[in-house]
Chains A and B, each alone.
Chain A
Amino acid sequence: MMGNAILTGNTKSPAYYIWISSLIALMVLGGYAHFMSLLTSQEILEFSIRIPWALMVSNYVFLVVSGSGLCIVSSLGHVFGMKRYELISKRCVFLAFITILFGMFSIAIHLGHPERALVYNIITPNFRSAIWWMGALYSFYVLFIAVEYWFLARVGLANKANGSMGLKRKIYCLMVVKKTDESQESQKNDHKWARFAGIFALFFGLSALSTLGAVFGHTEARAFWYGPYYPVYFLFSAAFCGYAWLISATIITYQVKGKEIPEKLINLLFLKFRH
Protein backbone atom coordinates (compact mmCIF):
# COMPACT_ATOMS: atom_id res chain seq x y z
CA MET A 1 0.00 0.00 0.00
CA MET A 2 2.80 2.35 0.97
CA GLY A 3 4.63 1.79 -2.30
CA ASN A 4 1.45 2.42 -4.22
CA ALA A 5 0.93 5.71 -2.41
CA ILE A 6 4.39 6.88 -3.44
CA LEU A 7 3.83 5.90 -7.05
CA THR A 8 0.35 7.24 -7.61
CA GLY A 9 -0.55 9.61 -4.79
CA ASN A 10 0.17 13.26 -5.32
CA THR A 11 -0.52 14.24 -1.73
CA LYS A 12 2.48 15.64 0.09
CA SER A 13 2.80 14.08 3.53
CA PRO A 14 4.84 15.59 6.40
CA ALA A 15 7.42 12.86 5.81
CA TYR A 16 7.96 14.28 2.34
CA TYR A 17 8.70 17.76 3.71
CA ILE A 18 10.97 16.38 6.44
CA TRP A 19 12.87 14.39 3.84
CA ILE A 20 13.30 17.33 1.46
CA SER A 21 14.36 19.73 4.20
CA SER A 22 16.90 17.31 5.67
CA LEU A 23 18.28 16.81 2.15
CA ILE A 24 18.68 20.55 1.70
CA ALA A 25 20.29 20.85 5.17
CA LEU A 26 22.83 18.16 4.24
CA MET A 27 23.58 19.92 0.96
CA VAL A 28 24.24 23.18 2.79
CA LEU A 29 26.49 21.38 5.27
CA GLY A 30 28.42 19.70 2.45
CA GLY A 31 28.82 22.98 0.60
CA TYR A 32 30.19 24.62 3.76
CA ALA A 33 32.69 21.76 4.24
CA HIS A 34 33.90 22.09 0.64
CA PHE A 35 34.30 25.83 1.02
CA MET A 36 36.30 25.41 4.23
CA SER A 37 38.50 22.73 2.63
CA LEU A 38 39.46 25.24 -0.04
CA LEU A 39 40.14 27.97 2.53
CA THR A 40 42.05 25.98 5.14
CA SER A 41 43.21 22.46 4.46
CA GLN A 42 41.97 19.32 2.77
CA GLU A 43 42.30 17.57 6.11
CA ILE A 44 38.60 18.37 6.70
CA LEU A 45 37.59 15.85 4.06
CA GLU A 46 39.85 13.09 5.41
CA PHE A 47 39.40 10.66 8.25
CA SER A 48 43.07 10.06 8.90
CA ILE A 49 46.36 9.95 7.08
CA ARG A 50 46.03 6.19 6.85
CA ILE A 51 42.85 6.46 4.78
CA PRO A 52 43.92 8.57 1.85
CA TRP A 53 40.83 8.00 -0.25
CA ALA A 54 37.91 9.14 1.85
CA LEU A 55 34.73 11.14 1.35
CA MET A 56 35.31 12.64 -2.08
CA VAL A 57 36.47 9.43 -3.71
CA SER A 58 33.47 7.47 -2.49
CA ASN A 59 31.29 10.34 -3.71
CA TYR A 60 33.03 10.27 -7.07
CA VAL A 61 32.73 6.53 -7.48
CA PHE A 62 29.06 6.56 -6.52
CA LEU A 63 28.17 9.35 -8.95
CA VAL A 64 30.29 8.14 -11.81
CA VAL A 65 29.25 4.51 -11.51
CA SER A 66 25.56 5.39 -11.39
CA GLY A 67 26.08 7.80 -14.29
CA SER A 68 27.61 5.08 -16.42
CA GLY A 69 24.81 2.77 -15.33
CA LEU A 70 22.27 5.33 -16.53
CA CYS A 71 24.11 5.47 -19.84
CA ILE A 72 23.81 1.67 -20.07
CA VAL A 73 20.06 1.79 -19.34
CA SER A 74 19.50 4.64 -21.79
CA SER A 75 21.37 2.82 -24.54
CA LEU A 76 18.71 0.10 -24.47
CA GLY A 77 16.44 2.71 -26.01
CA HIS A 78 18.20 4.27 -28.93
CA VAL A 79 21.37 2.22 -29.35
CA PHE A 80 19.79 -1.21 -29.21
CA GLY A 81 16.54 0.07 -30.69
CA MET A 82 14.04 -1.02 -28.02
CA LYS A 83 11.02 1.18 -28.68
CA ARG A 84 9.58 1.08 -25.17
CA TYR A 85 12.84 2.29 -23.59
CA GLU A 86 12.90 5.42 -25.74
CA LEU A 87 10.38 6.83 -23.28
CA ILE A 88 13.09 7.17 -20.62
CA SER A 89 16.20 7.72 -22.72
CA LYS A 90 16.11 11.52 -22.50
CA ARG A 91 15.77 11.51 -18.70
CA CYS A 92 18.47 8.83 -18.44
CA VAL A 93 20.96 10.72 -20.57
CA PHE A 94 20.29 13.95 -18.71
CA LEU A 95 20.89 12.24 -15.36
CA ALA A 96 24.01 10.54 -16.74
CA PHE A 97 25.36 13.92 -17.83
CA ILE A 98 24.60 15.57 -14.48
CA THR A 99 26.07 12.72 -12.41
CA ILE A 100 29.32 12.55 -14.39
CA LEU A 101 29.65 16.34 -14.17
CA PHE A 102 29.31 16.34 -10.38
CA GLY A 103 31.49 13.24 -10.18
CA MET A 104 34.25 15.14 -11.98
CA PHE A 105 33.65 18.04 -9.60
CA SER A 106 34.14 15.84 -6.55
CA ILE A 107 37.34 14.30 -7.90
CA ALA A 108 38.64 17.82 -8.58
CA ILE A 109 38.00 18.63 -4.91
CA HIS A 110 39.73 15.41 -3.88
CA LEU A 111 42.89 16.16 -5.86
CA GLY A 112 45.57 18.23 -4.19
CA HIS A 113 46.30 20.13 -7.39
CA PRO A 114 43.48 19.78 -9.93
CA GLU A 115 45.03 22.50 -12.11
CA ARG A 116 48.18 20.42 -12.54
CA ALA A 117 46.06 17.39 -13.42
CA LEU A 118 44.73 19.22 -16.46
CA VAL A 119 48.23 20.07 -17.67
CA TYR A 120 50.36 17.04 -16.81
CA ASN A 121 47.78 14.44 -17.81
CA ILE A 122 48.26 15.74 -21.35
CA ILE A 123 51.99 16.60 -21.32
CA THR A 124 53.39 13.57 -19.49
CA PRO A 125 50.83 10.75 -19.55
CA ASN A 126 51.72 7.50 -17.84
CA PHE A 127 50.11 4.78 -19.92
CA ARG A 128 50.82 2.21 -17.19
CA SER A 129 48.52 4.01 -14.75
CA ALA A 130 44.87 3.00 -14.53
CA ILE A 131 43.95 6.46 -13.25
CA TRP A 132 45.25 8.09 -16.41
CA TRP A 133 43.20 5.79 -18.62
CA MET A 134 40.14 6.35 -16.47
CA GLY A 135 40.53 10.13 -16.72
CA ALA A 136 41.05 10.06 -20.46
CA LEU A 137 38.15 7.70 -21.17
CA TYR A 138 35.77 9.61 -18.91
CA SER A 139 36.70 12.86 -20.64
CA PHE A 140 35.61 11.36 -23.97
CA TYR A 141 32.53 9.94 -22.28
CA VAL A 142 31.47 13.38 -20.99
CA LEU A 143 31.88 14.77 -24.48
CA PHE A 144 29.72 12.13 -26.16
CA ILE A 145 27.08 12.15 -23.44
CA ALA A 146 26.78 15.93 -23.80
CA VAL A 147 26.42 15.64 -27.59
CA GLU A 148 23.87 12.85 -27.19
CA TYR A 149 21.79 14.89 -24.77
CA TRP A 150 21.95 17.92 -27.04
CA PHE A 151 20.52 15.94 -29.94
CA LEU A 152 17.79 14.49 -27.73
CA ALA A 153 16.84 17.87 -26.26
CA ARG A 154 17.17 19.96 -29.42
CA VAL A 155 13.56 19.63 -30.60
CA GLY A 156 12.15 20.63 -27.22
CA LEU A 157 14.44 23.63 -27.02
CA ALA A 158 13.66 24.61 -30.61
CA ASN A 159 9.98 24.45 -29.76
CA LYS A 160 10.56 26.78 -26.80
CA ALA A 161 12.66 29.12 -28.95
CA ASN A 162 9.94 29.37 -31.58
CA GLY A 163 7.33 29.98 -28.88
CA SER A 164 9.11 32.82 -27.08
CA MET A 165 10.25 36.35 -27.84
CA GLY A 166 13.13 38.71 -27.16
CA LEU A 167 16.02 37.73 -24.90
CA LYS A 168 14.50 34.37 -24.02
CA ARG A 169 14.35 33.49 -27.69
CA LYS A 170 17.97 34.53 -28.14
CA ILE A 171 19.11 32.31 -25.26
CA TYR A 172 17.15 29.35 -26.57
CA CYS A 173 18.53 29.98 -30.07
CA LEU A 174 22.07 29.94 -28.65
CA MET A 175 21.33 26.66 -26.85
CA VAL A 176 20.29 24.98 -30.09
CA VAL A 177 23.00 26.76 -32.15
CA LYS A 178 20.29 28.45 -34.25
CA LYS A 179 18.87 25.14 -35.47
CA THR A 180 15.21 25.85 -34.73
CA ASP A 181 13.88 23.40 -37.29
CA GLU A 182 11.04 21.29 -35.82
CA SER A 183 10.11 19.22 -38.86
CA GLN A 184 9.76 15.44 -38.80
CA GLU A 185 12.79 15.12 -41.04
CA SER A 186 15.04 17.08 -38.66
CA GLN A 187 13.77 14.97 -35.76
CA LYS A 188 14.67 11.83 -37.65
CA ASN A 189 18.08 13.30 -38.35
CA ASP A 190 18.49 14.15 -34.67
CA HIS A 191 17.57 10.63 -33.72
CA LYS A 192 20.18 9.27 -36.09
CA TRP A 193 22.91 11.48 -34.67
CA ALA A 194 21.82 10.79 -31.08
CA ARG A 195 22.15 7.10 -31.80
CA PHE A 196 25.59 7.67 -33.28
CA ALA A 197 26.72 9.66 -30.22
CA GLY A 198 25.01 7.10 -27.98
CA ILE A 199 27.05 4.25 -29.42
CA PHE A 200 30.26 6.15 -28.68
CA ALA A 201 29.02 7.19 -25.25
CA LEU A 202 28.22 3.57 -24.43
CA PHE A 203 31.60 2.40 -25.69
CA PHE A 204 33.54 5.01 -23.71
CA GLY A 205 31.24 4.65 -20.72
CA LEU A 206 31.74 0.89 -20.49
CA SER A 207 35.49 1.07 -21.02
CA ALA A 208 35.87 3.94 -18.56
CA LEU A 209 33.80 2.05 -16.03
CA SER A 210 35.87 -1.11 -16.33
CA THR A 211 39.02 1.01 -16.05
CA LEU A 212 37.58 2.59 -12.91
CA GLY A 213 37.18 -0.94 -11.60
CA ALA A 214 40.76 -1.60 -12.66
CA VAL A 215 41.96 1.42 -10.64
CA PHE A 216 40.91 -0.53 -7.56
CA GLY A 217 41.68 -3.91 -9.10
CA HIS A 218 45.31 -2.99 -9.80
CA THR A 219 46.17 -2.12 -6.21
CA GLU A 220 47.82 -5.39 -5.38
CA ALA A 221 49.00 -3.94 -2.09
CA ARG A 222 45.37 -3.90 -0.86
CA ALA A 223 44.40 -7.50 -0.34
CA PHE A 224 40.61 -7.25 -0.63
CA TRP A 225 40.63 -4.41 -3.14
CA TYR A 226 42.58 -6.34 -5.69
CA GLY A 227 41.73 -8.75 -8.43
CA PRO A 228 40.31 -9.31 -11.89
CA TYR A 229 36.77 -9.54 -10.57
CA TYR A 230 36.78 -5.85 -9.65
CA PRO A 231 36.12 -4.35 -13.12
CA VAL A 232 33.36 -6.92 -13.74
CA TYR A 233 31.79 -6.18 -10.38
CA PHE A 234 31.82 -2.46 -11.16
CA LEU A 235 30.18 -2.99 -14.55
CA PHE A 236 27.30 -5.09 -13.31
CA SER A 237 26.66 -3.10 -10.16
CA ALA A 238 26.63 0.04 -12.32
CA ALA A 239 23.79 -1.29 -14.46
CA PHE A 240 21.62 -1.93 -11.40
CA CYS A 241 22.67 1.32 -9.72
CA GLY A 242 21.72 3.26 -12.84
CA TYR A 243 18.33 1.60 -12.92
CA ALA A 244 17.75 2.43 -9.27
CA TRP A 245 18.69 6.05 -9.97
CA LEU A 246 16.21 6.15 -12.80
CA ILE A 247 13.38 4.81 -10.65
CA SER A 248 14.05 7.19 -7.76
CA ALA A 249 14.59 10.18 -10.04
CA THR A 250 11.31 9.48 -11.83
CA ILE A 251 9.40 9.18 -8.56
CA ILE A 252 10.93 12.38 -7.17
CA THR A 253 10.25 14.29 -10.39
CA TYR A 254 6.58 13.36 -10.42
CA GLN A 255 6.28 14.00 -6.67
CA VAL A 256 7.72 17.50 -7.07
CA LYS A 257 5.53 18.15 -10.10
CA GLY A 258 2.54 16.84 -8.15
CA LYS A 259 1.47 14.63 -11.02
CA GLU A 260 0.69 10.99 -11.35
CA ILE A 261 3.24 8.77 -13.10
CA PRO A 262 1.80 7.54 -16.41
CA GLU A 263 0.93 3.86 -16.42
CA LYS A 264 3.15 3.21 -19.41
CA LEU A 265 6.18 4.50 -17.49
CA ILE A 266 5.31 2.44 -14.39
CA ASN A 267 4.97 -0.67 -16.52
CA LEU A 268 8.36 0.03 -18.05
CA LEU A 269 10.18 0.87 -14.82
CA PHE A 270 8.84 -2.06 -12.84
CA LEU A 271 9.05 -4.50 -15.74
CA LYS A 272 5.32 -5.15 -15.90
CA PHE A 273 4.83 -6.81 -19.27
CA ARG A 274 1.58 -7.33 -21.04
CA HIS A 275 1.98 -11.09 -20.99
Chain B
Amino acid sequence: MGRRNTTTRRQFLKFVPAASVGLSLGNSASVDASFVKYGKFHDTTKCIGCKRCVSACKRWNKLKIDREEELTDRETDLSGQTWVVVNLTRDKRNREDLHYLHWGCQHCIKPACAGACPVKAISKLPEGPVIVNENKCIGCRYCYQACPYKVPRFDFEKRVAAKCTMCHDRIPRVKPACVSACPVGALDFGIKQEILAKAKKRTEEVGGYLLGEHEAGGTDFLTVLPTTPEALGLVVAPKKVISSDLDKLRITSFGFMGASLLTGLMYMYSRTEEEQKEEEEEEKKE
Protein backbone atom coordinates (compact mmCIF):
# COMPACT_ATOMS: atom_id res chain seq x y z
CA MET B 1 0.00 0.00 0.00
CA GLY B 2 2.80 2.33 1.05
CA ARG B 3 4.72 1.64 -2.15
CA ARG B 4 1.63 2.34 -4.17
CA ASN B 5 1.19 5.66 -2.37
CA THR B 6 4.75 6.80 -3.14
CA THR B 7 4.32 6.03 -6.83
CA THR B 8 1.15 8.06 -6.99
CA ARG B 9 2.89 10.94 -5.29
CA ARG B 10 5.70 10.79 -7.82
CA GLN B 11 3.18 10.70 -10.59
CA PHE B 12 1.42 13.60 -9.00
CA LEU B 13 4.65 15.60 -8.76
CA LYS B 14 5.31 14.87 -12.40
CA PHE B 15 1.81 15.91 -13.26
CA VAL B 16 1.83 19.28 -11.46
CA PRO B 17 4.38 21.16 -13.64
CA ALA B 18 2.91 19.64 -16.78
CA ALA B 19 -0.57 20.73 -15.80
CA SER B 20 0.52 24.24 -14.86
CA VAL B 21 2.31 24.65 -18.18
CA GLY B 22 -0.74 23.28 -19.98
CA LEU B 23 -3.04 25.69 -18.18
CA SER B 24 -0.85 28.69 -18.88
CA LEU B 25 -0.62 27.77 -22.54
CA GLY B 26 -4.36 27.09 -22.86
CA ASN B 27 -6.07 29.52 -25.21
CA SER B 28 -8.09 32.35 -23.79
CA ALA B 29 -11.27 31.39 -25.64
CA SER B 30 -11.99 28.55 -23.23
CA VAL B 31 -11.52 30.94 -20.31
CA ASP B 32 -13.79 33.57 -21.89
CA ALA B 33 -16.71 31.19 -22.09
CA SER B 34 -17.31 31.25 -18.35
CA PHE B 35 -17.64 35.06 -18.24
CA VAL B 36 -20.58 37.20 -19.17
CA LYS B 37 -19.58 39.94 -21.61
CA TYR B 38 -20.73 43.46 -20.97
CA GLY B 39 -21.12 46.47 -23.21
CA LYS B 40 -21.70 50.21 -22.97
CA PHE B 41 -24.12 52.08 -25.15
CA HIS B 42 -24.55 55.75 -25.97
CA ASP B 43 -27.46 57.35 -27.77
CA THR B 44 -26.45 60.73 -29.20
CA THR B 45 -30.05 61.59 -30.06
CA LYS B 46 -30.97 61.52 -26.37
CA CYS B 47 -27.89 63.25 -24.93
CA ILE B 48 -28.53 66.75 -23.53
CA GLY B 49 -24.86 67.62 -22.91
CA CYS B 50 -25.08 68.11 -19.12
CA LYS B 51 -21.62 66.50 -18.72
CA ARG B 52 -22.62 64.72 -15.55
CA CYS B 53 -20.97 61.63 -16.98
CA VAL B 54 -17.66 63.50 -17.23
CA SER B 55 -17.75 64.73 -13.65
CA ALA B 56 -18.92 61.33 -12.34
CA CYS B 57 -16.03 59.67 -14.18
CA LYS B 58 -13.58 62.13 -12.66
CA ARG B 59 -14.94 61.66 -9.15
CA TRP B 60 -14.94 57.86 -9.27
CA ASN B 61 -11.48 57.62 -10.82
CA LYS B 62 -10.08 60.47 -8.66
CA LEU B 63 -9.01 62.64 -11.61
CA LYS B 64 -8.38 66.37 -11.71
CA ILE B 65 -11.58 68.34 -12.23
CA ASP B 66 -11.56 71.33 -14.59
CA ARG B 67 -14.69 73.32 -13.84
CA GLU B 68 -14.54 75.40 -16.97
CA GLU B 69 -14.44 72.29 -19.11
CA GLU B 70 -17.64 71.04 -17.54
CA LEU B 71 -19.53 74.31 -17.58
CA THR B 72 -18.99 75.37 -21.18
CA ASP B 73 -19.51 73.77 -24.55
CA ARG B 74 -15.89 74.42 -25.48
CA GLU B 75 -14.37 71.49 -27.37
CA THR B 76 -12.35 69.35 -24.98
CA ASP B 77 -9.84 66.65 -25.75
CA LEU B 78 -9.08 63.41 -23.96
CA SER B 79 -6.06 63.56 -21.66
CA GLY B 80 -4.42 61.65 -18.85
CA GLN B 81 -6.87 63.38 -16.47
CA THR B 82 -9.95 63.32 -18.72
CA TRP B 83 -11.02 59.85 -19.73
CA VAL B 84 -14.39 60.70 -21.26
CA VAL B 85 -15.48 63.90 -22.99
CA VAL B 86 -18.80 65.27 -24.19
CA ASN B 87 -18.40 67.42 -27.27
CA LEU B 88 -20.82 69.24 -29.48
CA THR B 89 -20.57 67.76 -32.97
CA ARG B 90 -22.00 69.35 -36.05
CA ASP B 91 -23.30 67.57 -39.10
CA LYS B 92 -21.23 68.81 -42.04
CA ARG B 93 -24.06 68.46 -44.52
CA ASN B 94 -26.69 70.06 -42.31
CA ARG B 95 -24.94 72.81 -40.31
CA GLU B 96 -27.90 73.40 -37.97
CA ASP B 97 -27.93 69.79 -36.84
CA LEU B 98 -25.98 69.67 -33.55
CA HIS B 99 -25.46 66.65 -31.35
CA TYR B 100 -23.67 65.99 -28.09
CA LEU B 101 -21.31 63.05 -28.31
CA HIS B 102 -19.96 61.10 -25.35
CA TRP B 103 -16.51 59.97 -26.42
CA GLY B 104 -13.88 57.78 -24.80
CA CYS B 105 -12.27 54.37 -25.11
CA GLN B 106 -14.30 52.16 -27.42
CA HIS B 107 -13.12 48.93 -25.72
CA CYS B 108 -12.34 47.01 -28.92
CA ILE B 109 -13.00 43.29 -28.89
CA LYS B 110 -9.50 42.75 -30.33
CA PRO B 111 -7.64 45.82 -29.03
CA ALA B 112 -4.62 46.96 -31.04
CA CYS B 113 -3.18 48.70 -27.96
CA ALA B 114 -2.94 45.43 -26.02
CA GLY B 115 -1.01 43.87 -28.89
CA ALA B 116 1.30 46.86 -29.09
CA CYS B 117 2.21 47.18 -25.40
CA PRO B 118 5.70 45.68 -24.93
CA VAL B 119 5.18 44.68 -21.30
CA LYS B 120 1.56 43.45 -21.33
CA ALA B 121 0.42 46.42 -19.22
CA ILE B 122 -2.78 46.69 -21.30
CA SER B 123 -5.18 43.81 -21.17
CA LYS B 124 -8.67 42.97 -22.37
CA LEU B 125 -10.64 41.64 -19.42
CA PRO B 126 -12.92 38.70 -20.25
CA GLU B 127 -15.93 40.82 -19.17
CA GLY B 128 -15.17 43.42 -21.84
CA PRO B 129 -13.16 46.37 -20.47
CA VAL B 130 -9.71 47.15 -21.85
CA ILE B 131 -7.59 48.40 -18.95
CA VAL B 132 -4.12 49.86 -18.42
CA ASN B 133 -2.12 48.62 -15.45
CA GLU B 134 -0.71 51.83 -14.01
CA ASN B 135 1.91 50.05 -11.96
CA LYS B 136 3.30 48.23 -14.97
CA CYS B 137 3.11 50.82 -17.77
CA ILE B 138 6.57 51.99 -18.86
CA GLY B 139 5.22 55.11 -20.60
CA CYS B 140 6.37 54.39 -24.16
CA ARG B 141 3.10 55.70 -25.70
CA TYR B 142 3.01 53.01 -28.38
CA CYS B 143 -0.60 52.31 -27.38
CA TYR B 144 -1.56 55.80 -28.55
CA GLN B 145 0.14 55.17 -31.89
CA ALA B 146 -1.58 51.81 -32.29
CA CYS B 147 -5.09 52.91 -31.26
CA PRO B 148 -7.37 53.63 -34.25
CA TYR B 149 -9.32 56.12 -32.11
CA LYS B 150 -6.25 57.77 -30.53
CA VAL B 151 -7.62 57.23 -27.04
CA PRO B 152 -4.84 56.23 -24.58
CA ARG B 153 -3.27 59.51 -23.47
CA PHE B 154 -0.07 60.12 -21.57
CA ASP B 155 -0.43 61.33 -18.01
CA PHE B 156 2.54 63.64 -17.55
CA GLU B 157 2.38 63.54 -13.76
CA LYS B 158 2.18 59.79 -13.25
CA ARG B 159 4.18 59.22 -16.48
CA VAL B 160 1.90 56.39 -17.61
CA ALA B 161 -0.79 55.94 -20.24
CA ALA B 162 -4.32 56.47 -18.96
CA LYS B 163 -7.77 55.89 -20.39
CA CYS B 164 -11.34 54.83 -19.62
CA THR B 165 -11.50 51.50 -17.78
CA MET B 166 -15.28 51.05 -18.16
CA CYS B 167 -15.12 51.20 -14.34
CA HIS B 168 -13.98 47.59 -14.19
CA ASP B 169 -13.79 47.97 -10.40
CA ARG B 170 -17.56 48.65 -10.26
CA ILE B 171 -19.02 46.25 -12.80
CA PRO B 172 -21.08 44.11 -12.84
CA ARG B 173 -22.45 44.90 -9.36
CA VAL B 174 -22.85 48.61 -10.13
CA LYS B 175 -23.01 50.25 -13.54
CA PRO B 176 -20.05 52.41 -14.63
CA ALA B 177 -19.96 55.88 -13.05
CA CYS B 178 -20.91 57.70 -16.27
CA VAL B 179 -23.90 55.43 -16.92
CA SER B 180 -25.18 55.78 -13.36
CA ALA B 181 -24.91 59.56 -13.61
CA CYS B 182 -26.83 60.00 -16.87
CA PRO B 183 -30.17 61.70 -16.10
CA VAL B 184 -31.86 61.03 -19.46
CA GLY B 185 -30.85 57.47 -20.25
CA ALA B 186 -28.55 58.39 -23.11
CA LEU B 187 -26.01 55.98 -21.68
CA ASP B 188 -26.72 52.38 -20.88
CA PHE B 189 -24.76 49.39 -19.68
CA GLY B 190 -25.56 45.70 -19.66
CA ILE B 191 -24.93 42.29 -21.12
CA LYS B 192 -23.32 42.72 -24.55
CA GLN B 193 -25.93 40.83 -26.57
CA GLU B 194 -28.83 42.72 -25.00
CA ILE B 195 -27.05 46.05 -25.43
CA LEU B 196 -26.27 45.24 -29.08
CA ALA B 197 -29.89 44.33 -29.77
CA LYS B 198 -31.04 47.55 -28.08
CA ALA B 199 -28.54 49.62 -30.03
CA LYS B 200 -29.57 48.08 -33.35
CA LYS B 201 -33.24 48.69 -32.58
CA ARG B 202 -32.55 52.30 -31.63
CA THR B 203 -30.48 52.86 -34.78
CA GLU B 204 -33.37 51.66 -36.91
CA GLU B 205 -35.76 53.97 -35.06
CA VAL B 206 -33.51 56.98 -35.54
CA GLY B 207 -32.45 56.00 -39.02
CA GLY B 208 -28.82 56.69 -38.16
CA TYR B 209 -25.59 54.81 -37.92
CA LEU B 210 -24.34 52.36 -35.28
CA LEU B 211 -20.71 53.12 -34.49
CA GLY B 212 -18.83 50.17 -33.07
CA GLU B 213 -20.66 47.27 -34.64
CA HIS B 214 -18.00 46.54 -37.25
CA GLU B 215 -15.41 49.29 -36.71
CA ALA B 216 -11.99 48.00 -35.63
CA GLY B 217 -13.35 44.45 -35.61
CA GLY B 218 -16.23 45.38 -33.29
CA THR B 219 -16.13 47.29 -30.02
CA ASP B 220 -17.82 46.88 -26.64
CA PHE B 221 -18.85 50.54 -26.61
CA LEU B 222 -21.62 51.21 -29.09
CA THR B 223 -22.74 54.67 -30.17
CA VAL B 224 -25.91 55.50 -32.07
CA LEU B 225 -25.15 58.42 -34.40
CA PRO B 226 -27.76 60.45 -36.29
CA THR B 227 -25.63 60.33 -39.45
CA THR B 228 -22.40 58.75 -40.59
CA PRO B 229 -19.23 59.37 -38.54
CA GLU B 230 -17.59 60.99 -41.59
CA ALA B 231 -20.27 63.67 -41.67
CA LEU B 232 -19.79 64.37 -37.96
CA GLY B 233 -16.03 64.69 -38.40
CA LEU B 234 -15.20 61.71 -36.18
CA VAL B 235 -12.25 59.37 -36.51
CA VAL B 236 -13.22 56.70 -39.01
CA ALA B 237 -11.69 53.33 -38.19
CA PRO B 238 -11.57 50.63 -40.87
CA LYS B 239 -14.08 47.82 -40.52
CA LYS B 240 -11.53 45.14 -39.66
CA VAL B 241 -9.37 44.05 -36.74
CA ILE B 242 -6.63 46.68 -36.42
CA SER B 243 -3.02 45.44 -36.42
CA SER B 244 -3.90 41.75 -36.41
CA ASP B 245 -1.07 39.30 -35.76
CA LEU B 246 -1.11 38.12 -39.37
CA ASP B 247 -0.66 41.70 -40.64
CA LYS B 248 2.22 42.19 -38.23
CA LEU B 249 3.89 38.99 -39.43
CA ARG B 250 3.44 40.05 -43.03
CA ILE B 251 5.08 43.42 -42.43
CA THR B 252 7.92 41.94 -40.35
CA SER B 253 8.63 39.33 -43.01
CA PHE B 254 9.10 42.13 -45.54
CA GLY B 255 11.74 43.55 -43.23
CA PHE B 256 13.62 40.27 -43.13
CA MET B 257 13.37 39.96 -46.89
CA GLY B 258 14.85 43.45 -47.18
CA ALA B 259 17.64 42.53 -44.77
CA SER B 260 18.54 39.42 -46.77
CA LEU B 261 18.46 41.47 -49.97
CA LEU B 262 20.84 44.01 -48.44
CA THR B 263 23.18 41.25 -47.24
CA GLY B 264 23.10 39.71 -50.69
CA LEU B 265 23.95 43.02 -52.33
CA MET B 266 26.83 43.54 -49.93
CA TYR B 267 28.12 40.05 -50.66
CA MET B 268 27.96 40.74 -54.40
CA TYR B 269 29.80 44.02 -53.88
CA SER B 270 32.50 42.27 -51.88
CA ARG B 271 32.95 39.77 -54.71
CA THR B 272 33.82 42.60 -57.12
CA GLU B 273 37.04 43.32 -55.23
CA GLU B 274 38.15 39.70 -55.45
CA GLU B 275 37.36 39.67 -59.15
CA GLN B 276 39.44 42.82 -59.58
CA LYS B 277 42.32 41.21 -57.75
CA GLU B 278 42.13 38.10 -59.90
CA GLU B 279 42.16 40.25 -63.03
CA GLU B 280 45.17 42.18 -61.78
CA GLU B 281 47.02 38.99 -61.00
CA GLU B 282 46.30 37.71 -64.47
CA GLU B 283 47.59 40.95 -65.96
CA LYS B 284 50.77 40.67 -63.92
CA LYS B 285 51.32 37.11 -65.13
CA GLU B 286 50.93 38.19 -68.70
Q: Does B79 contact A (CB under 8 A)?
A: yes
Comparing B28-36, B93-101, B174-182, B267-275, the segment that makes contact with chain A is B267-275
B266 / chain A contacts, CB cutoff of 8 Å: 72, 75-76, 80
Given A72-B266, A210-B256, the answer on whether A112 and B148 have CB atoms closer than 8 Å is no
Chain B residues with CB under 8 A of A227? 251
Structural contact, A41 and B259, CB atoms closer than 8 A: no
Minimum CB–CB distance for A84 against chain B, Å: 7
Shortest C-beta distance, B75 to chain A (Å), equals 13
Q: Known interface pairs A83-B273, A112-B154, A129-B118. Does A217 touch B251 (Cβ–Cβ under 8 Å)?
A: yes
Pick the interface stretch among B9-17, B38-46, B201-209, B240-248.
Answer: B240-248
- Given contact pairs A49-B154, A236-B262, A221 touches B146 in the complex (Cβ within 8 A): yes
The answer to whether B140 and A111 touch across the interface, beta carbons within 8 angstroms, is yes
Interface centre among B77, B252, B267 (most CB of A within 10 A): B252
Contact string, B58-97, partner A, CB cutoff 8 A, digits 1/0?
0000000000000000000101100000000000000000
Given contacts A82-B270, A124-B136, A235-B259, contact A222 B254 (CB under 8 A): no
A255 within 8 A of B: no
B140 contacts across to A, CB distance below 8 A: 110-112, 117, 131
Contacting pair A41 B145 (CB below 8 A): no
In contact, B259 and A218 (Cβ under 8 angstroms): no
B224 within 8 A of A: no
Tell me whether B112 is interfacial, beta carbon within 8 Å.
Answer: yes
Of the listed residues A116, A211, A213, A230, the one surrounded by the most CB atoms of chain B closer than 10 A to its CB is A116
CB-defined interface of A119-155 with B at 8 Å, one 1/0 digit per residue? 0110011101111100100000000000000000000
Do residues A129 and B251 form an inter-chain contact, with CB atoms below 8 A?
no
Whole-angstrom CA separation of A82 from B267 in the bound complex: 10
Contacts of B147 in A (CB 8 A): 221
Type the 1/0 row for A31-60, where 1 means its CB is closer than 8 Å to any CB of B: 000000000011100100110110000000
**Contact check: which of A82, A111, A228, A229 meets B139 at CB < 8 Å?**
A111
B157 within 8 A of A: yes
**In the bound complex, CA of A52 to CA of B154 (Å):** 8
Give the Cβ gap from B200 to chain A, nearest Cβ, in Å: 26
Residue in B79, B118, B137, B273 whose beta carbon sits within 8 Å of that of A132 in the complex: B118
Asked whether, in the complex, the Cβ of B255 is within 8 Å of the Cβ of A76, the reply is no
Number of residues on chain A facing chain B (CB within 8 A)? 60
Q: Contacts of A41 on B, CB cut-off 8 Å?
A: 156-157
The answer to whether B142 touches A113 (Cβ under 8 A) is no
Interface residues of B in 87-143 (CB under 8 A from A): 112, 115-121, 136-142
In B215-262, which residues have CB < 8 Å from any A CB?
A: 237-238, 242-243, 245, 247-248, 250-252, 254-259, 261-262
How many B residues touch A, CB cutoff 8 Å? Answer: 56
A52 to B150, CA, bound (A): 10
Contact A82 B273, beta carbon cutoff 8 Å: yes
A58 to chain B, nearest CB (A): 13
Task: Report chain B residues within 8 Å CB of A131.
Answer: 116, 118, 140, 142
A214 interface residue, CB < 8 Å from B? yes
Chain B residue with Cβ nearest A275: B276
Cβ of B82 to closest chain A Cβ, rounded Å = 10
B189 part of interface (Cβ distance < 8 Å): no
A91 to B73, CA, bound (A): 60
In A195-214, the 8 Å CB interface with B consists of 202, 206-207, 209-211, 213-214
Give the 7 A-B CB pairs with smallest separation, nearest first. Answer: A112-B139, A231-B255, A210-B255, A112-B159, A80-B270, A232-B258, A228-B254
Q: Using A113-B160, A129-B118, A220-B238 as known contacts, list a sample of 11 further A-B pairs with CB atoms less than 8 Å apart, ordered by residue number in A.
A: A76-B269, A82-B273, A116-B137, A117-B140, A128-B115, A128-B245, A210-B252, A217-B251, A220-B148, A228-B251, A236-B262
Interface residues of B, Cβ cutoff 8 Å to A: 77, 79-80, 112, 115-121, 136-142, 144-150, 153-154, 156-160, 237-238, 242-243, 245, 247-248, 250-252, 254-259, 261-263, 266-267, 269-270, 273
